[in-house]
Amino acid sequence: MEQNDKKTPAPRRDPSQLNAIEKFYEKFRGIPLKYIDIFIIVCLVALAAVVLIGSLKGFGVL
């Protein structure tokens, strides 16, 4: 029994059939998905920090 050690790439779907997230990731095929996800998480954390600091300043805490 021989096993195929080579990974064959999945066939690419027609771009008109992709949802929004798949279209976003399709634009960055050369960048590993892990790094894109980390970048998105860092941006969301930064946005949450800006909103939190702004609301604290608005209430006069800072």
In one letter, which amino acid is 31?
Answer: I
Q: pTM of the predicted model, to two decimals? A: 0.60
Residue 50 · residue 42 · CB < 8 Å: no
Residue 36 · residue 25 · CB < 8 Å: yes
State the pLDDT at residue 8.
67
Please name the helix (run of DSSP H) or strand (run of DSSP E) that holds residue 40, with its range, or none: helix 33-58
Gap between the Cα atoms of 46 and 29, Å rounded:
25
Question: Residue 18 — very low, low, confident or very high, per pLDDT cuts 50/70/90?
Answer: confident
Residue 18 · residue 26 · CB < 8 Å: yes
pLDDT tens digits for range 29-52: 898 889 989 999 999 999 999 999
